[in-house]
Chains A and B, each alone.
Chain A
């Protein structure tokens, strides 16, 4: 036997196949960025998610032409800056007086890295005030004055614009990602554990246990998902603490999703339990639960990983839908669905297209999960190499 024939574990082969799939890797990279933004939201976001700047509601994004290097006099600055915005009175096309916000060339707020701002907690533990970026609150590098010292509103950087209350949308997207993106991970963990355990039990024992569990699953699957979600949501008080709402949303979504997982796992276990090694384990006197958990379920792992990845979007979309309908995450917390509610008013959206940003992020996250999930599925399929050879 020579070196070339050295055995590779199925996991190593799966990893090798996945590494060659550039689309799947791109999906993984996008998800890495999104989750990093969410987990370290306090650092990447220049402001706290509920920091309101009442003077500048619905401000357009600075990223679209709001970040300057050259000031009004034509002087070039190495450090990019944004202008403060002032209210002016003008007339619209019908001659009516309207108030408009324009950039004030006299108030220059330089952008700095690692600035001190709103307090946040690193991983929920360590208090800090350092943010990746921000702008000087006072214009033109003037020394900070007291709260009543300056007549102008403080300088604010709105990378992606601001919402109705003048809150920074980029900051809220980071914090909202923490809610919307982790809903998927926590939900998958719950529904997959339930699906594995109950599907494993149903498939392994068969008979009456199987029949009873299958009927329960049928009951859950026969009611259209959104109906069941709304009904379950109605069973709890409308206003809950933010953390309670979060877990309620996760648990409701997981309660519905475990059924289909359990059904597939059961089907796999039905054939796995006939394998010789299961008979061997039984002969060795291992308990039923031990056989299910240690010997049978690990064989469904590749299905579990692939399905889990492809199922995360269900949770993200579920949270977004619930919050969008007003029965999920509540103000002032941030979540992508809740933020999307602001864009619901068609006429408001016309003047402020940046309000649709959370929808774009939902799309990107779902797409990335689909990329990665499909890549994992191809990589987990032992026939995929063979298939590629026979068809190409």
Chain B
């Protein structure tokens, strides 16, 4: 197990290195360097442009730039943002709370909805609950999250004027009491959280249902029933724990989701999260920021899948990693 984990980590380091090279190459061939964007003012002379290039270290050859970036990066220094000269890590860190709140709540909410729905519909297959939830979730699954967001902003946000849909806090947030603050954030969270979550509820509940149906067909379930165990106990205690794998996969995705967020929803709801930061960074050719975010998220993706794989072995003793 330990040897397996170590081997995976070693591979992950290689993959990560590959990602840095690929990303560095892609953004380096991109036309319109940041110096040009910053010196868009035509009155700015060629000399200023050259100074900017020097300042951003764009005048050096590509391999040298990459080597410099890497040697600083392994020490945790991802440089300063081209946009405002602030350290990249600081800019990312201040965006984490918004995205992480959303991601963690979304996965918790998603699983607390999906698990009972999945179990409920599998336990009573083809019953009214299974049919109605199946049809409605299938329809919901095909709704793009941004279309849902648009319609919700239109209906709930503007027409009914029930919930705010811009940003994470209202004006005058600082003057609110602690409970008022929590309530204010909760109100801002409601719509974007729904849009962020409903896909995974639709997908996970059908997935859990499918897995549970397979498990319910197994001999040990029949044995449990034959012993006279109550049906609820058969489903929840005997069968359900054997469908934990998808839940673990989902939790494994939680790790990177904390840092990546949804670009389109964050743009739509003006959410001060990381997805929007990334989008702006790409548009502004803010290379240090793009590099740092790509590497950090990719590292978390790799970590998350590794943790999920290790958790499989814990959940299912038949899985052994040699």
The listed residue (A224, A327, A344, A370) touching B150 by CB distance below 8 A is A344
- Nearest-Cβ distance from residue A115 to partner chain B, whole angstroms: 33
From the candidates A325, A344, A349, A353, name the one contacting B263 in the complex (CB within 8 A).
Answer: A325
Q: Do A234 and B19 have beta carbons less than 8 Å apart?
A: no
Taking chain B's interface residues, is the majority helix, strand, or loop, or is none over half, making it mixed?
Answer: helix
- Chain A residues within an 8 Å CB radius of B275: 226
Residue A150 CB within 8 A of the other chain: no
> Knowing A219-B19, A222-B302 touch, does A356 contact B150 (C-beta < 8 A)?
yes
Tell me, in angstroms, the Cα distance from A343 to B283 when the chains sit together: 22
Q: Contact size class for B?
A: 35 or more
Query: Which residue on A lies nearest to B262, using beta carbons?
Result: A226
Q: Is the CB of A219 within 8 A of B15?
A: yes
Q: Which residues of A contact B138 (CB under 8 A)?
A: 370
In the complex formed, the residue of A with least CB distance to B21 is A219
Least distance between A335 CB and chain B CB atoms (Å): 14
Asked, given contacts A219-B15, A349-B150, A366-B142, whether A230 binds B298 with beta carbons under 8 Å apart, the answer is no
Asked whether A317 lies within 8 Å of B144 as measured between CB atoms, the reply is: yes
Q: CA–CA, A360 to B142, complex, Å?
A: 10
Which residues of B (239-283) have their CB < 8 Å from a CB of A? 256, 260, 262-264, 267-268, 275, 278-279, 282-283
CB contact list, A211-253 vs B, under 8 A: 215-216, 218-219, 222-224, 226-227, 230-238
User: Are A356 and B154 closer than 8 Å at their CB atoms?
Assistant: yes
Within 8 Å CB of B290, what residues of A? 231, 234
Residues of the A chain whose Cβ atoms lie less than 8 Å from the Cβ of B150: 340, 343-344, 349, 356, 359
What's the minimum C-beta distance from A329 to chain B, rounded to whole angstroms? 16
Query: A353 vs B154: C-alpha distance in the bound complex, in angstroms?
Result: 8
Interface pair A366/B301, CB less than 8 Å apart: no
The answer to whether A69 has its CB under 8 Å from any CB of chain B is no
8 Å CB contact of B27 from A223, A231, A320: A231
Complex-state Cα separation, A347 to B154, whole angstroms = 8
A235 x B15 contact (CB < 8 A) = no
What is the interface of chain A mostly: helix, strand, loop, or mixed? helix
Instruction: List the B side residues contacting A262 at CB < 8 Å.
Output: none
Q: How far is the CB of A297 from chain B (nearest CB, A)?
A: 27
- Tell yes or no: A321 within 8 A of B by CB: yes
Give complex CA distance A362, B143 in Å.
Answer: 8
Task: Please determine whether A363 and B144 come into contact, CB atoms closer than 8 angstroms.
Answer: yes
In the bound complex, residues from chain B placing their C-beta under 8 Å from that of A324 are 146, 264
B133 at the interface (CB under 8 A from A): no
In the assembled complex, A367 has its CB within 8 A of some CB on chain B: yes
B27 touches A224 (CB 8 A): no
Q: Which of B75-83, B107-115, B157-165, B167-175 contacts A (4 or more CB under 8 A)?
A: B157-165
Q: How far is the CB of B203 from chain A (nearest CB, A)?
A: 11
Given contacts A226-B264, A343-B150, A356-B150, contact A320 B139 (CB under 8 A): no
Q: How far is the CB of A343 from chain B (nearest CB, A)?
A: 6
- Whether A362 lies near B147 (C-beta < 8 A) is yes
Separation in Å of the A106 CB from the closest CB of chain B?
34
Residues of B within 8 A of A237 (CB): 31-32
**B16 contact set on A, CB distance < 8 A:** 222
Any A CB within 8 A of the CB of B297: yes
Contact with A along B169-198 (1 / 0, CB 8 A): 000000000000000000000000000000
In the bound complex, CA of A349 to CA of B151 (Å): 9
Do the beta carbons of B282 and A222 come within 8 Å of each other? no
Cα distance, A224 to B14, chains bound together (Å): 18
* Contact assessment for A227 and B31 in the assembled complex, using a CB-CB cutoff below 8 Å: no
The reply to whether B159 and A350 contact each other, CB–CB distance below 8 Å, is yes
Q: Does A346 contact B (CB under 8 A)?
A: yes
Residues of B within 8 A of A349 (CB): 150, 153-154, 158
Docked-complex contact B26 and A232, CB < 8 angstroms: yes
Give A146 to B143 CA distance when docked, in angstroms.
48
Q: Are A325 and B26 in contact (CB under 8 A)?
A: no
**B141 at interface, CB cutoff 8 A:** yes
A327 to B141, CA, bound (A): 26
- Asked whether A234 and B282 contact (CB < 8 A) given A218-B15, A224-B297, the answer is yes
Query: Would you mind naming 10 contact pairs between A and B with Cβ atoms under 8 Å apart?
Result: A222-B19, A224-B297, A234-B30, A235-B29, A313-B142, A324-B146, A346-B165, A349-B153, A359-B144, A367-B142
New A-B contacts (8) at CB < 8 Å, excluding given A223-B19, A226-B264, A320-B144: A222-B302, A226-B263, A232-B26, A234-B285, A235-B30, A350-B158, A363-B144, A366-B142
- Which B residues form the contact surface with A (CB < 8 A)? 11, 14-16, 18-19, 22-23, 26-27, 29-32, 138-139, 141-144, 146-147, 150-151, 153-154, 157-159, 165, 256, 260, 262-264, 267-268, 275, 278-279, 282-283, 285, 290, 293-294, 297-298, 301-302
Q: Measuring CB to CB, which residues of chain A are less than 8 angstroms from any residue of chain B?
A: 215-216, 218-219, 222-224, 226-227, 230-238, 313, 317, 320-321, 324-325, 327, 340, 343-344, 346-347, 349-350, 353, 356, 359-360, 362-363, 366-367, 370
6 closest Cβ pairs, A-B complex: A359-B147, A367-B142, A219-B18, A235-B30, A366-B142, A222-B298
